[in-house]
A = this chain, B = another copy of it.
Amino acid sequence: MNQPSDNPGAVAQHCAEFMLSGDEPARTFGFILRRAGPGEAQLEMTVPDNALNVFGTCHGGVLFTLADTALSIACNSHGRQAVAHHCTITFVRPVQPGDRLIAHALERSRTTKSAIYDCAVVNAATGKVVAEFRGQSRTIADAMPHKG
């Protein structure tokens, strides 16, 4: 990845596009970047049929993947490589096929080596939370890698 200028917003946007460009599950489930900034990311998904479980609702693993991908973008937004280390998710309401969801990851606290992000997943039509996610990241390198 070529590092852009000193503009933190541009770094975050650049990182987000880089992350999503090579994220296979994001492609499979149709995650769309809505917004990226320092310590922040918003993704959108309209629940596709390939995300459903046997009960015909959205698989919890796909909701987690959406929130975890938003966390990954947010925790790499400062231009240093970081990875999720520990995550918790609470499934608050069931999600139906075709529901449009917005996942908004926000940095809550940060030290040199680790950070904590919250990510609420909200049904865009009702404004209600469908899942609450919290994850910790660890910084593992001082720059972003080039794409392999």
Contacts and interface: CB of A to CB of B under 8 A. Distances in A.
Contacts of A93: 111
A29 to B, nearest CB: 9
Interface residues on A, range: 35 or more
A42 interface: no
A109 B66 CA distance: 19
Contact of A145 (B21, B55, B68, B92): B55
What is the total number of copies of this protein in its complex? Answer: 4
A33 interface: no
Contacts of A136: 86, 90
A126 interface: no
A66 B64 CA distance: 12
B60 A84 contact: yes
Contacts of A90: 85-86, 116, 136
